[in-house]
Each structure stands twice: as structure tokens, then as C-alpha cells.
């Protein structure tokens, strides 16, 4: 019986191998041991619950934000403060401490005051993704505040994974439910801390880096990247936990006299 050339056999097998690789990529890693999955999930829920409890107290975060696209980029400083519930304030500062924008998020309104334009813009209703305001971050301001605080349950939820898969370094990945979470795929490390989140079909990927030297590690860097080249990198510089809650005056955003407030769709993107 004549033996077929090895190159011919490989050529015939190539489509099948590509198909198998594609299926494996869609499914992620191998199924994870149930006991390992339970331990990682328990660590995640305990961490998220503790972070949510601590977030009920006043906090202030200062971070560096670099964002842009393939051929451009900008860097600003952001200051975010809240009492854990209710309004969230965010100031965006350019170089030398010059304020570029002041932002307020309440349960029913998003308000941004652009210092350069001397105009204010608002959106009424549920929070929108910050993408709508020109920042390459696929979450709203309230979700962003939760992520910076490590309050992951407020964003990704607490629904136990139904199809956990093994991930690198002893971690696991699993699809998030489309109800009560942003969907997509969440990857946890072996300690239950989020490592990456991938959007299901929109092209966004978030990477989390935690302070590994702390007894209770906090997220110190959140990086968002899109397949089209847009990116945003948040690097936490300082965290403060005041003894007293911020006053209503400290959490409000008063507009200077004569400043017009326009619908958000008329805003020039950052």
C-alpha cells in the first residue's frame, strides 16, 4: 500500500485542526475541578462583600488617567469622592492642577461642567457608559467608582458560575449572566480577585492589577482596551478614608451664574 506524503496529510488535516482550535478558544480553558471552583468563588464573594461593606464609609481616590487611540493620547488627574451611597463627585484636572471638568452622578442625573467651554451638560435617567461622554471606559461613573473600590459584586454580581473553566496560574474564567451584570467573561485569579473582563461582542477588555503587598489588596490599576485601538488606563495614586462623611455642599455641583445646562448629546467629546 502506497504511503501518502506527510505534507499532503498535514494539508488535509489543517482545516480540521483549525476548527478544533477555534472551538477550544470559544470554550476557554479546560473544565475546572469543582472544589477549586468553589474555593475561588468563595474567595471572590468574601472579598467583594468586605469591599462593599467598607465602601459604605466616605472615601476619596486620586488617580492618573491616560486615554486615547492609536495615534493620540492624553493624561489627566481624576479625583473621585463619595459617602458610599448617594451622589458621586468627580473632578478632572489637567496639568498644574487646572480643573478641566467637574462631574456629578446622582441616582437620576449625570451632570458635567466643562470649564473650558463654560457650559454644563446633563443626562437624566439610568447611568450611561462613559463612552457616551467621550471617555474610553465601557462602564458608567457609579460602576467605575465601585470597581476602584474593589466592590466587584456591585458590577459583576454574585451569581455563581455555571460553566467555570481553568485559567492561568490556578485561576478560573466563566461567563457572566446577561441579567444583573454586564455579561461577557470574567476571569478570577486563584485568590478570587478579578484579573480580566472581556465584553461578549463589543470588543472591550478590562485588566485589573491589585496591590499584592497589602493585607487586603485593592485595585491599583484598571486598564481598558478596545480592538479598535482605544484605551484608558487608571492608576490609583492615593486613597483616603475621612473620619466624617462629606457634607451635601461638598457633594453638590453648583454651576456659576449664567452657565447654560444643555442635553448631553450636544457635548463636545473629551
What is the SS3 string spanning 69-131?
Answer: CCCCEEEEEEEEEECCCCCEEEEEECHHHCEEEEEEECCCEEEEEECCCCEEEEEECCCCCHH
pLDDT-derived band at 17, boundaries 50, 70, 90: very low
Assigned superfamily of 54-266 = Lipoprotein localisation LolA/LolB/LppX (2.50.20.10)
SS3 assignment, position 21: helix
d(CA 31, CA 173): 10
What would the mean pLDDT of 227-256 be, rounded to a whole number?
95
Read off the pTM: 0.84
What would the mean pLDDT of 108-121 be, rounded to a whole number?
91
Give the pLDDT score at 29: 78
Amino acid at each position: 500500500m502506497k504511503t501518502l506524503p506527510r505534507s499532503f496529510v498535514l494539508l488535509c488535516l489543517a482545516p480540521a485542526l483549525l476548527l478544533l482550535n477555534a472551538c477550544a478558544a470559544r470554550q476557554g480553558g479546560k473544565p475546572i475541578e469543582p472544589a477549586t471552583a468553589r474555593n475561588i468563588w468563595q474567595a471572590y464573594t468574601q472579598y467583594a462583600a468586605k469591599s462593599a461593606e467598607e465602601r459604605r464609609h466616605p472615601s476619596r481616590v486620586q488617580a492618573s488617567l491616560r486615554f486615547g487611540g492609536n495615534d493620540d493620547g492624553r493624561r489627566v488627574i481624576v479625583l473621585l469622592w463619595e459617602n458610599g451611597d448617594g451622589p458621586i463627585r468627580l473632578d478632572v484636572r489637567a496639568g498644574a492642577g487646572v480643573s478641566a471638568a467637574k462631574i456629578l452622578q446622582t441616582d437620576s442625573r449625570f451632570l458635567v461642567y466643562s470649564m473650558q467651554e463654560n457650559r454644563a451638560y446633563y443626562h437624566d435617567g439610568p447611568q450611561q457608559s462613559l463612552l457616551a461622554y467621550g471617555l474610553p471606559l465601557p462602564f458608567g461613573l457609579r460602576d467605575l467608582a465601585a470597581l476602584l473600590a474593589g466592590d466587584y459584586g456591585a458590577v459583576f454580581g454574585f451569581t455563581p458560575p455555571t460553566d467555570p473553566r481553568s485559567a492561568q496560574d490556578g485561576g478560573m474564567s466563566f461567563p457572566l449572566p446577561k441579567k444583573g451584570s454586564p455579561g461577557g467573561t470574567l476571569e478570577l485569579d486563584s485568590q478570587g480577585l478579578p484579573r480580566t473582563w472581556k465584553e461578549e461582542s463589543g470588543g472591550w477588555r478590562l485588566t485589573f492589577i491589585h496591590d499584592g503587598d497589602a493585607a487586603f489588596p485593592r485595585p491599583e490599576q484598571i486598564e481598558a482596551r478596545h480592538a479598535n485601538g482605544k484605551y484608558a488606563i487608571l492608576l490609583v495614586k492615593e486613597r483616603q478614608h475621612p473620619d466624617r462623611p462629606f457634607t451635601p455642599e461638598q457633594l453638590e455641583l453648583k454651576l456659576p451664574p449664567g452657565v447654560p445646562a444643555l442635553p448631553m448629546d450636544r457635548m463636545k467629546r473629551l
